[in-house]
């Protein structure tokens, strides 16, 4: 993953202190990337991830910012470029999920989700479109719920459907810049956030529909992100569904 000058490629992972974000940060570091682990509120956990990457011989820093705040995120991008000299890959894992039937949905929750998931995706994508070096990649994160239509997921799935549309259009808009733009849409994945509050029976029920008969792991998702960030240069303007065949 290094060029002739042994300069590592550089990645920014938004939401890098979360379950999938952490796995992506660690996988890209293992692939030789210098990694900026972004966090919105959990500085301690982001710092632990950086410490582990550095202890393993990698290069990593933390950056902070509200993904929906264009000024704060521009400063985060500035910090990455100042530390590592440029930016090649952005993996935008930051997002929130609130579940509710449509009939009883609290519109404040809808607004909060859309601020982070939709506006945040636009802010990060716009910055990436202007900052990534040639040969770079932007990878947004959606969800397989845009296809599964499970009850209580309407507001969350709607916010992620917007992310998919943004991704597909932006890939065409960046013609001539040699930057790929794709989305990953995971199925049920065993992150701490996903497992919180679920008993063993519920987890088994959610794992059942996949032909592989298990939940995904954060590492499964990181594998796809690493491919799109590195060798998968001919995949562009696509939504990839790492979900074990559930949809």
Catalytic residue among 84, 156, 194, 241: 156
The stretch 15-31 carries a mean pLDDT of 96
pTM to 2 decimal places: 0.94
CB 113 within 8 Å of CB 96: yes
pLDDT tens for each residue of 168-195: 999 999 999 999 999 999 999 988 877 8
Q: Please, which pLDDT band fits residue 4 given cuts at 50, 70 and 90?
A: very low
Domains and CATH numbers, the chain: 10-188+221-240 (3.40.50.720)
pLDDT band at 3 (very low <50, low <70, confident <90, very high): very low
Q: What is the pLDDT of residue 192?
A: 80
**Own/partner long-range contacts of 143-152 (Cβ < 8 Å, ≥24 apart):** 143/185, 143/186, 144/185, 144/186, 144/187, 144/188, 144/241, 144/243, 144/246, 144/247, 146/185, 147/185, 147/241, 147/247, 148/187, 148/246, 148/247, 151/101, 152/99, 152/100, 152/101
Residue 153 annotated to the active site: no
Model confidence pLDDT, tens digit, residues 52-100: 999 999 999 999 999 999 999 999 999 999 999 999 999 999 999 999 9
């Amino acid at each position: 993953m290094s060029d002739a000058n042994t300069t590592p490629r550089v990645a920014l992972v938004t939401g890098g202190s979360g379950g999938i974000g952490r796995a992506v940060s660690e996988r890209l570091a293992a692939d030789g990337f210098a990694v900026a682990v972004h966090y919105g509120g959990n500085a301690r956990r982001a710092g632990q991830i950086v410490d582990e990457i550095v202890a393993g011989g990698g290069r990593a820093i933390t950056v902070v910012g509200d993904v929906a705040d264009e000024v704060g995120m521009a400063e985060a991008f500035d910090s990455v470029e100042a530390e590592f000299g440029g930016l090649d890959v952005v993996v935008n894992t930051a997002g929130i999920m609130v579940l509710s039937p449509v009939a009883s949905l609290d519109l404040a929750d809808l607004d909060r989700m859309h601020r982070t998931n939709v506006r945040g995706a636009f802010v990060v994508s716009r910055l990436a479109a202007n900052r990534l070096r040639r040969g770079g990649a932007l990878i947004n994160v959606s969800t397989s719920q845009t296809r599964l239509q499970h009850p209580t997921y309407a507001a969350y799935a709607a916010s992620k459907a917007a992310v998919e549309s943004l991704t597909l259009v932006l890939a065409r808009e960046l013609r001539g810049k040699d930057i790929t733009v794709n989305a990953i849409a995971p199925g049920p994945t065993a992150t701490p956030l996903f497992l919180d509050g679920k008993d063993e029976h519920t987890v088994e029920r959610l794992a059942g529909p996949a032909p592989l008969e298990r939940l995904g792991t954060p590492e499964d998702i990181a594998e796809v992100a690493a491919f799109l960030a590195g060798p998968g240069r001919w995949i562009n303007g696509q939504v990839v569904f790492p979900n074990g065949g559930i949809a």
